[in-house]
């Protein structure tokens, strides 16, 4: 217990050390027995009829029953049923939205071919502008078909999908234990970190609405997809169930 407390304090100290003026403005510790629906929305189903497969030919259907809160952790569980895969996807859209700051989560990854967990953000103006004009910030993506790799990606009008702005970083022990995934977002650039190691910086030139839609609020998304264009068409059914465990989410500004 003492070790856990010390690690949490160290993470907070490192976050503020990078910018001494920064303060913790919001945190989600997943206490209690259920999600706070004044903060979190559930996105349900397979995306149909508006965006079937959630825009990526994903194979899961999202439910309210594929997660639990236990010992201060959010545990999202992907399962293989008789006819379909199920998982959970939650967002803070319209409830908690942020512009600039350090946004981070501490999480333990699932493993196995076909798994695709993510901690990411979308522009709050998505309903008006659509994707990718609204912008997307992928702080963490991991795909089980490509082990020991973490993906950090930005999707904009001038670079999205397979041509998104980002980097794949090899981390041999990323599947072991918990790790901290973060973005430090200012009006000028974004720095991405894994366990306080800088892995990618985005600072586009020229800066315009097509390259930098990041001068507006964004909301947070946590989910675990199965298969899809990025997760891969092949899914190993023997891996299920798999758990994506999130210890906390914090925002410093």
Query: Cα dihedral angle (124, 109, 105, 161), rounded to 10 degrees?
Result: -30
Q: Which of 136, 175, 196, 209 is catalytic?
A: 136
Active site residue 136: yes
Distance CA 7, CA 146 (A): 28
Q: Closest Cα to residue 102, out of 27, 210, 177?
A: 27
Q: Which of 141, 175, 196, 209 is catalytic?
A: 141
Active site residue 37: no
Query: Cα dihedral angle (185, 30, 222, 209), rounded to 10 degrees?
Result: -30
Angle at alpha carbon of residue 43, lines to 179 and 157, rounded to 5°: 75
Distance CA 41, CA 105 (A): 18
Distance CA 102, CA 185 (A): 6
Active site residues: 136, 141
């Amino acid at each position: 217990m003492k070790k856990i407390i010390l690690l949490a304090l160290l993470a907070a100290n490192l976050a503020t050390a990078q910018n001494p003026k920064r303060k913790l403005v919001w945190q989600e510790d997943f206490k209690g027995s259920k999600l706070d629906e004044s903060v979190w929305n559930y996105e349900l189903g397979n995306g149909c009829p508006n965006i079937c497969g959630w825009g990526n030919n994903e194979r899961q259907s999202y439910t309210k029953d594929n997660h639990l809160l236990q010992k201060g952790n959010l545990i999202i569980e992907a399962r293989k049923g008789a006819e379909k895969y199920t998982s959970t996807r939650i967002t803070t859209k319209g409830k908690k939205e942020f512009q600039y700051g350090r946004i981070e989560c501490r999480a333990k990854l699932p493993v196995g071919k076909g798994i695709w967990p993510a901690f990411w953000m979308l522009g709050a103006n998505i309903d008006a502008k659509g994707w990718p004009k609204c912008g997307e910030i992928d702080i963490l993506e991991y795909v089980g078909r490509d082990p020991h790799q973490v993906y950090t990606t930005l999707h904009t009008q001038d670079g999205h999908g397979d041509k998104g702005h980002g980097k794949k970083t090899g981390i041999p022990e990323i599947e072991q234990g918990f790790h901290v995934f973060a973005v430090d977002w200012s009006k000028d650039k974004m720095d991405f970190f894994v366990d306080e190691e800088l892995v990618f910086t985005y600072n586009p030139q020229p800066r315009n609405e097509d390259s930098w839609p990041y001068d507006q609020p964004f909301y947070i998304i946590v989910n675990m997809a199965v298969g899809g264009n990025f997760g891969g068409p092949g899914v190993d059914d023997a891996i299920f169930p798999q758990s994506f465990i999130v210890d906390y989410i914090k925002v410093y500004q």
